[in-house]
């Protein structure tokens, strides 16, 4: 059985380093807001190239806190609109509605599954205050035109970088392309902790300060509260693990790139549409290798029977979820087609050559 993602194997690669460090943290008696967190924040900000990095409890909180920060700063107001792709993981959208902001869905580009930049301007109204782009599956979505558009309409450009840490476009890392970015270090992400963890990066001093307070009960100084904040912390154990794994992210992403390259070169089945391989390989870190076929459920069943575990990212589009029943009648045909047809093949930094070849052979036999 070829696992979709062998997390045990991924983390055991760093077993000695992680166990030694975890034992140090355990014995230190200091478990929150300590050296490991500040060191991770400094390493992450350096890696991304952004001035500030703030560790938080998870990726959803990272996005929630960015938007909440803009509300506290008076830049956004409840009832304002934020543009977001209709094809994304639900957390991108939850972060918006959780803040009393209105998510306005924009259809994706069928070739790369990311927000269709040419469809953004028509959705901008006097209420629009931001664009939340999502580098879905690890594929960057960014153009100078997008940046100009945000500037022209005075919109904050926010990145959901949960799936694309390490990707580079126009010489800049994702997480440093707009005004602020949210990261997730959920165990299955390219940089995964041993539990929940997340972070925010930004070059905006004021926003960073507000977010630090918001994530700490709304307080910059013990027992003095300026905002009605929350508790969203990245603990020392997770920060220690992330500090170790961050050193290997480029190496691990490049293994993913090589697997993707091989899949694209060698999977040839007329029933299957392969993901677009960007001309510049830095623009994709292959968090997921997503293929598309009209016979998706049949293909998944066939792969399972042949010992290959696959997943669907994602089976139900956000506008068809019960959680957003007010959107259930709306139509986003491209997004719907993607949700009906996509299937994610195994890809990870620990797949063996044999496993990769078996996936190719079986997929070609469908």
Q: Smallest distance, Å, CB 161 to ligand PLP?
A: 8
C-alpha 91/C-alpha 222 separation (Å) is 31
Give the number of residues in contact with ligand PLP, rule: CB under 6 A: 15
* 193 in contact with ligand PLP (CB under 6 A): no
* 162 in contact with ligand PLP (CB under 6 A): yes
* 60 in contact with ligand PLP (CB under 6 A): yes
Residue located via tokens 């997008």: 146
Element housing 244 (H / E): helix 236-246
Using the minimum distance from each CB to ligand PLP, give the nearer residue, 45 or 58: 58
Using the minimum distance from each CB to ligand PLP, give the nearer residue, 201 or 363: 201
Q: Smallest distance, Å, CB 61 to ligand PLP?
A: 7
CB atoms within 10 A of CB 46: 11
- Total residues belonging to the chain: 366
Given 2, 41, 48, 59, the residue binding ligand PLP (CB under 6 A) = 59
* 341 in contact with ligand PLP (CB under 6 A): no
C-alpha 84/C-alpha 22 separation (Å) is 38
Given 66, 82, 91, 200, the residue binding ligand PLP (CB under 6 A) = 91
Retrieve residue 196's tokens. Answer: 């929940």
* 327 in contact with ligand PLP (CB under 6 A): no
Which of 52-60, 70-78, 225-233, 297-305 is the region at the interface with ligand PLP (rule: CB under 6 A)? 52-60
Q: Which of 129, 156, 189, 257 is catalytic?
A: 189
Q: Tell me the DSSP string of 144-189.
A: HHHHHHHHHTT-EEEEE-TT-TT-EETTEETTSSSSEEEEE--TTS
Q: Smallest distance, Å, CB 41 to ligand PLP?
A: 17
CA angle, 167 as apex, 232 and 268 as ends, to 5°?
Answer: 120
Using the minimum distance from each CB to ligand PLP, give the nearer residue, 115 or 162: 162
325 is catalytic: no
Q: How many CA atoms are closer than 13 Å to the CA of 99, on its beta-carbon side?
A: 29
C-alpha 208/C-alpha 212 separation (Å) is 6
* 58 in contact with ligand PLP (CB under 6 A): yes
CA dihedral 243, 245, 250, 254 (to 10 degrees): -170
* 242 in contact with ligand PLP (CB under 6 A): no
Given 198, 317, 346, 349, the residue binding ligand PLP (CB under 6 A) = 198
Which residues are known catalytic residues? Answer: 189
Chain residues binding ligand PLP by CB under 6 A are 58-60, 88-89, 91-92, 134, 160, 162-163, 184, 186, 196, 198
């Amino acid at each position: 059985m070829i696992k979709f993602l062998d997390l045990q194997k991924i983390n055991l690669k760093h077993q000695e380093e992680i166990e030694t460090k975890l034992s140090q943290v355990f014995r230190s008696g200091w478990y929150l807001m300590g050296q490991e967190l500040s060191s991770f924040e400094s390493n992450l900000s350096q890696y991304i190239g952004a001035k500030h990095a703030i560790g938080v409890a998870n990726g959803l909180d990272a996005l929630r806190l960015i938007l909440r920060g803009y509300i506290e700063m008076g830049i956004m107001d409840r009832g304002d609109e934020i543009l977001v792709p209709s094809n994304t993981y639900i957390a991108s959208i939850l972060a918006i509605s959780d803040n009393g902001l209105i998510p306005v869905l924009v259809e994706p580009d069928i070739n790369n599954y990311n927000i269709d930049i040419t469809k953004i301007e028509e959705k901008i109204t006097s209420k629009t205050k931001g664009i939340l782009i999502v580098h879905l599956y690890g594929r960057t979505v960014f153009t100078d035109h997008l940046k100009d558009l945000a500037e022209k309409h005075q919109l904050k450009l926010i990145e959901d970088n949960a799936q694309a840490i390490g990707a580079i476009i126009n010489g800049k890392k994702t997480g440093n392309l707009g005004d602020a970015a949210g990261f997730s270090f959920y165990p299955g992400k390219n940089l995964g902790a041993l539990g929940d963890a997340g972070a925010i990066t930004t070059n905006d001093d004021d926003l960073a300060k507000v977010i630090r307070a918001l994530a700490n009960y709304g307080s910059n100084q013990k027992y003095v509260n300026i905002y009605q904040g929350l508790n969203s912390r990245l603990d020392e154990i997770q920060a220690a693990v992330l500090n170790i794994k961050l050193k290997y992210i480029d190496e691990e992403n490049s293994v993913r790139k090589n697997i993707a390259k091989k899949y694209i070169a060698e999977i040839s089945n007329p029933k299957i549409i392969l993901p677009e391989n960007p001309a510049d390989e830095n623009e994709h870190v292959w968090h997921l290798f997503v293929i598309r076929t009209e016979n998706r459920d049949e293909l998944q069943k066939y792969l399972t029977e042949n010992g290959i575990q696959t997943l669907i990212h994602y089976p139900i589009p956000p506008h068809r979820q019960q959680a957003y029943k007010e959107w259930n009648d709306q139509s986003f045909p491209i997004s719907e087609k993607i949700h009906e047809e996509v299937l994610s093949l195994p890809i990870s930094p620990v797949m063996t050559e044999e496993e990769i070849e078996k996936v190719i052979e079986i997929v070609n036999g469908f």
